[in-house]
Amino acid sequence: SHTHTSTMATRKRGRAMVLVAIIALVCTASTSVRAEEDEFGADYDDGPPSSAPPPSSSGATEMTGDELAGSIHSGADVVPHLVKFYAPWCSKCRQMSGDFDAAADRLTRGVNAGTNKFVVASVAEASTGARKLFEDLEIKAYPHVAMFYKGKVFTHAGKDRTSRAFVAFAERDFAKYPSREFVTSLDAYDGEHVTVGLSPKPWHREHMDRALMFIMYMRDDLRGAIFDHSAACVALFFTGLIAGTVALTLTDLVAERLGVPRRGETWDEFKRRTDWEAHREAEKRKAAKKEAKAE
């Protein structure tokens, strides 16, 4: 009985140590620097507008808001539209422009050349019709990357904004990202301008998507912490492991001193253990008395 109890306590102690190590790694990820503007949260590059030129559009097709709306209206059910929404004054937009254009080259050239398999576009906030389009799509931060396909808009989330990530998002991974249905309609007055609107989303889907985006950012934070600061992660891991071991040991010692069950031990197990220990001490005292008499 005592051996079984000790074994269970050892297993629980081991699981607790593993949990402490995992928590240490997660803490490392959460403390990494969040220096990017992204869709989750309200991080804006709010520097003053400047005369800096817009990002290079050598790969992606530069469109106005009206042109994108018209293109989506005419072909989004058949041809996926991968779109980058940006502002010329946004530093992060300029930084990712090269990767996005490289992804555009990959998706629209080579084996896909002339097939109309993808439309890859960039839309600046100051272009014609962009302000209304951005409001209708509820775009609140830059850069914002999304794909329109078969009546849904899929929002790219996470901090991996390399060309490889954009290609993977467009070709196969878009269904894993938060999505929302949209509808397009022609202007009732002139019959030319197209309006793109988002369909209402149930509250539980809204919270699920926000949780999904949070997990994606945490995943990228953890990955970045491990690969960019591997030495610090190893040091923090072993520091947490040692601190956890000391804490667990102190917990058992305090429990013994206070006369309460050890960590992971029930009151019944505590009573059986203390009764067994008391019986063992009594037997030791009896044996000591017999030896003293014999002498």
Question: What DSSP string runs through 11-74?
Answer: HHHHHHHHHHHHHHHHHHHHTS---S--SSS-----PPP--PPPPP-SSSEEE-HHHHHHHHHH
Q: Decide which of 40 and 99 is more confident.
A: 99
Instruction: Provide the token pair at 258.
Output: 């206070």
Calculate the average pLDDT of the chain.
Answer: 75
Mean pLDDT of 245-262: 79
3-state secondary structure of 124: strand
Strands in 144-149's sheet, in edge-to-edge order, are 61-63, 119-124, 81-86, 144-149, 152-155, 179-186, 194-198
- List pLDDT tens digits, range 82-111: 999 999 898 989 998 999 999 999 888 754
Taking the C-alpha atoms of residue 233 and residue 113, their distance in angstroms, rounded to an integer, is 44
- List pLDDT tens digits, range 110-158: 545 445 588 999 999 888 888 888 888 888 888 999 999 988 889 888 7
pLDDT at 121: 92
DSSP state letter for 181: E
pLDDT at 18: 53
- Kindly report the number of other CB atoms within 10 A of residue 289's CB atom: 10
For the chain, what is the total number of helices (H) and then of strands (E)?
8, 7
Sign of the C-alpha dihedral computed for residues 219, 224, 229 and 230 taken in this order: positive
Taking the C-alpha atoms of residue 240 and residue 98, their distance in angstroms, rounded to an integer, is 40
**Which residues, 6 or more positions from 26, have their beta carbon under 8 angstroms from its beta carbon?**
218, 222
- List pLDDT tens digits, range 195-218: 787 777 767 767 776 787 777 767
Q: Work out the pLDDT band at 15, boundaries 50, 70, 90.
A: low
Instruction: Provide the percentage of residues in the chain whose pLDDT is more than 70.
Output: 71
Taking the C-alpha atoms of residue 108 and residue 40, their distance in angstroms, rounded to an integer, is 29
pLDDT at 294: 79
DSSP state letter for 262: P
Mean pLDDT of 264-279: 85
Cα separations (Å) of 105 from 84, 117, 171? 14, 12, 13
Give yes or no for a contact between 76 and 181, defined as CB atoms under 8 angstroms apart.
Answer: no
Tell me the CB-side half-sphere exposure of residue 62, using CA atoms within 13 A. Answer: 14
- Kindly report the number of other CB atoms within 10 A of residue 147's CB atom: 23
- Calculate ∠ Cα 7-8-12, nearest 5°: 120
DSSP bridge partners of 37? none
Strands, DSSP E only, in 56-206? Answer: 61-63, 81-86, 119-124, 144-149, 152-155, 179-186, 194-198
Q: Which helix (H) or strand (E) holds 167?
A: helix 163-168
